[in-house]
Amino acid sequence: MQYSDNIIDALSIDCVIFGFKDTQLYVLLVKHGIGPTLGQWALPGSWIRYNESIDEAASRILSSQTSVGNIYLEQFKTFGDLERFPARRVITIAYYALVNIEKFELHAGPTEADVQWFKVWDVPTMAFDHKIIFESCLSFLKHKVQHEPIGFNLLPAKFTLLQLLELYEAILNQKLDKSNFRKKFLKMNLLVDTKERQQDVSHRAATLYSFDENIYNKLLDKGFIFEV
């Protein structure tokens, strides 16, 4: 099947899918159900078809793990060492996705024995060079969220400033000052006050904010630089 005519047999795509829930950053892994890597955990991946672009291929892989659309998905890096794939020469293009874990309905693909979220600081051993891909992608994400407002993709559409803080703490793996963090973000004028409040919490309800891509783009035009 892998050698069929409609796929490029020297090239694959692998996706690092990040999720966030309750102060924890997660990554989605699949357990292979067939082939020589049977039983091993790995990044969701697939071959590239001749009639799809690499972005479309990555998108297809993402869809195969879930039913929700409109997800943040970007190319990360291409891995092409000689020994990375034992059977034959295969180069893989790694993508990464940021998803709202609550809305993400998992379902394993036909060749997968299992699908599961793992805390990023506690991942199992993985097939091929996937551990290396994952680790370097995580440190890439760490850098990226400080220079571009993409973290919001990991949160619900409406979120509190504490959730945002905890997201950054999870990704950067360090404590941040709550008060200063609030001020920094509010001052950017990037967040929209939804005028709504948290529901069903056993303490003072926090304001819910949302992130508006359009506002960000307008700020960009004015020379705004996002920095955390």
Residues from 123 through 182 that contact its own copies (CB under 8 A)? 143, 147
> Choosing among its own copies, DNA, none, which partner's interface includes residue 55 (Cβ < 5 to 8 Å by kind)?
its own copies
Q: How many residues bind DNA (CB under 7 A)?
A: 19
Of 126, 106, 125, which Cα lies nearest the Cα of 116?
106
Of 38, 39, 15, 40, which Cα lies nearest the Cα of 28?
15
Residues from 54 through 83 that contact its own copies (CB under 8 A)? 54-55, 75, 77-78, 80-82
Of 111, 99, 107, 104, which Cα lies nearest the Cα of 47?
111
Q: How far apart are CA 12 and CA 10, in angstroms?
A: 7
Q: What phi and psi values does residue 61 have, to the nearest 5 degrees?
A: -65, -45
Q: Of the candidates 32, 33, 71, 91, which one interacts with its own copies according to CB under 8 A?
A: 91
Q: Of the candidates 27, 48, 137, 171, which one interacts with its own copies according to CB under 8 A?
A: 48
In eight-state DSSP terms, residue 50 is T
CB of 72 to DNA, least distance (A): 25
123 near DNA (CB under 7 A):
no
Q: How far is CA 128 from CA 17, 51, 188, 207, 210, in A?
A: 17, 26, 42, 45, 39
Q: Which stretch binds DNA (CB under 7 A): 63-71, 82-90, 137-145, 203-211?
A: 203-211
Residues that bind its own copies in the complex, under the rule CB under 8 A: 8, 10-11, 48, 50-55, 75, 77-78, 80-82, 89, 91, 93, 143, 147
Residues that bind DNA in the complex, under the rule CB under 7 A: 160-162, 177-180, 182-184, 186, 201-207, 227
